[in-house]
Amino acid sequence: MIGDEDEIVPQGIDVTTPHIARIYDYWLGGKDNYAADRAAAERVMAATPTIKPGVTANRAFLSRVVRFMAGEGVTQFLDIGTGIPTADNTHLVAQAVNPASRVVYVDNDPIVLNHARALLAGVTAPTAFIDADIRDTDRILEEAAGLLDFDRPVGLLLIAILHCVPDDDDPRGIVRTLMDALAPGSFLAVTHPGIDQLPEQMSAAEKTLTKAMGYRVTFRTRDGVGGFFAGLDLLPPGVVPVQDWRPDPDTPPSAITGMWGAAGRKP
Ligand SMILES: C[S@@+](CC[C@H](N)C(=O)[O-])C[C@H]1O[C@@H](n2cnc3c(N)ncnc32)[C@H](O)[C@@H]1O
């Protein structure tokens, strides 16, 4: 099938409605996006110039936090809201520290699923992909148990996904259910667009995304993000702008991003 601007569109994929994974891919400089995604991405960028440094800093946080967890001895990861693969995917970062690391990816977007299948086809290390909605915690946990041993610590990664879950769908309850299933010593990492960082710009981004995608995105406050860590030991430096979470010493200070990031450990 041919889509906008003569692009090849995988069959069965609606590319006329902007999708968060493909908008995000555009911001990261990827090629897996279509005209509707790019138009929405440009509208958000016009209102919120920090968005591009924000998504880059978000990916850098993902690498740092996975390296940190792997350094603490975690060899199993559950990465929900995987996104379209870029350079430093979770299994590459984790397996660079420990080649035996197991990674289960979860996403509900068919384009992400296509890419993940292609990506994982050549991977010999234990890695799996589940096509599921984060709200379907029972299925995620059941299927992930095929690869992960829930009696040992797991690193749960909820990187730039929880804003896709409105308050009515009880995102805190979802996180609690997932963490309850994990062994003591497990970790949770969250990044989240902050409505209280650069309030004017982030509020414009929230509205533009919600309108473009036809479902509500919810940017949250620092306290709101901290709430996801209830019952866990929030690790220093706490909930901070993503670029300030344990930055690599040789990395120059990043621009302001609008994203909160944090990690916690299950006692
Ligand atoms: C902004 S991207 C973040 C990608 C990646 N975690 C990162 O930070 O680079 C959000 C991802 O979450 C996925 N997603 C959104 N809502 C979801 C849901 N309800 N269940 C599962 N995945 C979802 C999207 O398809 C997309 O791939």
Query: How many CB atoms within 10 Å of residue 92?
Result: 18
Give the residue from 60, 44, 12, 85 showing the smallest Cα distance to 248: 60
The 10s digit of each residue's pLDDT in 176-193 is 999 999 999 999 999 999
pLDDT of residue 3: 44
- Which of the residue ranges 43-47, 114-118, 190-194, 224-228 would you say has the lowest mean pLDDT? 114-118
Pocket flag, ligand 1, residue 163 (CB < 6 Å): no
Q: Among 13, 14, 15, 20, which residue has the most ligand 1 atoms within 8 Å of its CB, making it the best to mutate?
A: 20
The 10s digit of each residue's pLDDT in 7-37 is 666 667 788 888 888 998 999 888 888 999 9
The 10s digit of each residue's pLDDT in 147-164 is 999 999 999 999 999 999
Ligand 1 atom 13: the closest Cα is on which residue?
A: 81
Which percentage of the chain shows pLDDT scores above 70? 95
The conformation of residue 220, written as its DSSP 8-state character, comes to B
pLDDT of residue 221: 97
pLDDT of residue 61: 95
Is it the case that residue 112 has pLDDT exceeding 90?
no
Strand 187-193 versus strand 102-107 pairing type:
unpaired
Q: b/e per residue, 173-207, with b = 16+ CB within 10 A?
A: ebbbebbebbeeebbbbbbbbbbbbbeebbebbbe
pLDDT of residue 9: 65
Provide the total of helices (H) and of strands (E) in the chain, helices listed first. Answer: 9, 8
pLDDT of residue 172: 98
**Cα(8)–Cα(53) distance, rounded to whole angstroms?**
29
For 204, left (φ over 0), alpha (ψ -120 to 50), or beta? alpha
Pocket flag, ligand 1, residue 101 (CB < 6 Å): no
Kindly give the distance from the C-alpha atom of residue 136 to the centroid of ligand 1, in angstroms, as a whole number.
14
Ligand 1 atom 20: the closest Cα is on which residue?
A: 133
Pocket flag, ligand 1, residue 259 (CB < 6 Å): no
pLDDT of residue 236: 98
The residues near 54 (Cβ < 8 Å, ≥ 6 apart) are: 193, 242, 257, 258, 259
Q: Are 160 and 259 in contact (CB under 8 A)?
A: yes
For 246, left (φ over 0), alpha (ψ -120 to 50), or beta? left
Higher pLDDT, 113 or 218: 218
Give the residue from 81, 5, 2 showing the smallest Cα distance to 36: 5
Is it the case that residue 117 has pLDDT exceeding 90?
no
pLDDT of residue 126: 87
Q: Which atom of ligand 1 is nearest to the CA of 28?
A: 9
Q: Are 266 and 185 in contact (CB under 8 A)?
A: yes
Is it the case that residue 168 has pLDDT exceeding 90?
yes
Ligand 1 atom 18: the closest Cα is on which residue?
A: 133
**Cα(166)–Cα(177) distance, rounded to whole angstroms?**
17
The CA-CA-CA angle for residues 227, 253, 42, to 5°, reads 75
The 10s digit of each residue's pLDDT in 49-87 is 888 888 989 999 999 999 999 999 999 999 999 988 777
Kindly give the distance from the C-alpha atom of residue 93 to the centroid of ligand 1, in angstroms, as a whole number.
19
**Cα(19)–Cα(40) distance, rounded to whole angstroms?**
9
CATH fourth-level superfamily of 52-198+217-265: Vaccinia Virus protein VP39 (3.40.50.150)
Is it the case that residue 226 has pLDDT exceeding 80?
yes
pLDDT of residue 115: 80
Q: Identify the H or E element spanning 41.
A: helix 35-47
Q: Identify the H or E element spanning 211.
A: helix 199-213
Q: Are 109 and 21 in contact (CB under 8 A)?
A: yes
Across the range 100-126, mean pLDDT stands at 84
Q: Which atom of ligand 1 is nearest to the CA of 58?
A: 8
Q: Token digits for 198?
A: 């650069």
Q: Among 90, 106, 161, which residue has the most ligand 1 atoms within 8 Å of its CB, making it the best to mutate?
A: 161
Pocket flag, ligand 1, residue 28 (CB < 6 Å): no
Which percentage of the chain shows pLDDT scores above 90? 62
- 79 phi and psi angles, rounded to 5 deg: -110, 100
Q: Among 105, 108, 133, which residue has the most ligand 1 atoms within 8 Å of its CB, making it the best to mutate?
A: 108
Task: Determine if the peptide bond prior to 193 is cis (ω within 30°).
Answer: no
Kindly give the distance from the C-alpha atom of residue 18 to the centroid of ligand 1, in angstroms, as a whole number.
13
Is it the case that residue 259 has pLDDT exceeding 90?
yes
